[in-house]
Amino acid sequence: MTNERSAATEWLENDTIQSLLKEHLDETDYRIYKALNEDGRMSDTELGERVGLSRTAAHRRRKKLEEEGIIDVLGVLVLQEADFAYADVFVKLSSEATVDELDEFLETVKGDEFIYEIEEYMGTYDLLLRVWHATLGDIQSYLRTQLQCHDLVAKYEAMPVTKTHKAWHKPITN
């Protein structure tokens, strides 16, 4: 009951959350998001208990949020816990590249199993690629083969991540 009450209170008292989300979510949708963010594997029965709905109503609302693309329940490999090396790689693309070439490059990196996140930016760099591998040396070799010789990549800068304190709104502890 304390978790339910604090989630409801957070929604009611946080004006920023209200203004950002009220076009797409109501209080119950937000509480579903918060609960699934803590444990995406919980059953619809447990979800319903956490947010004050029946199992059927919780299932229906969760499915609707998934179908609308508002939430996405996925499994995440916590690289730090698995003792893998990972890095943020900032990429500046060639200003000579055509839209089709850029789209093709994005499709290629989207399908790469060592890239687990891609963000587009405006400014000095165009893309952030989050990459992982067994060791930092493997990341360096991988980046040389994938980016250094690619015609669309004007430059890139890799920053190894030494520790993640919070990922996907969940604290990471060692």
**Does position 1 have pLDDT exceeding 50, yes or no?**
no
Asked if 58 and 47 touch (Cβ cutoff 8 Å), the reply is yes
**Domain that includes residue 18, residue range:** 2-67
pLDDT reading at 89 higher than 90: yes
Question: What is the maximal distance between C-alpha atoms in the chain?
Answer: 58
When divided into structural domains, the chain yields a total of: 2
- pLDDT tens digits, one per residue of 26-68: 888 888 888 887 777 789 999 999 999 999 999 999 999 888 8
User: What local confidence, expressed as pLDDT, does residue 82 receive?
Assistant: 75
Of 33, 67, 101, the one marking the end of a domain is 67
Confidence label for 74 from pLDDT (cuts 50, 70 and 90) = low
- 49 plus 95 within the same structural domain: no
Give the Å distances, CA to CA, from 142 to 78, 115, 132.
20, 11, 10
Helix (H) or strand (E) holding 91: strand 85-93
Confidence label for 6 from pLDDT (cuts 50, 70 and 90): low
Q: Domain for residue 77, yes or no? A: no
Q: Is 173 inside a domain boundary?
A: no
Task: Provide the token pair at 96.
Answer: 């000579």
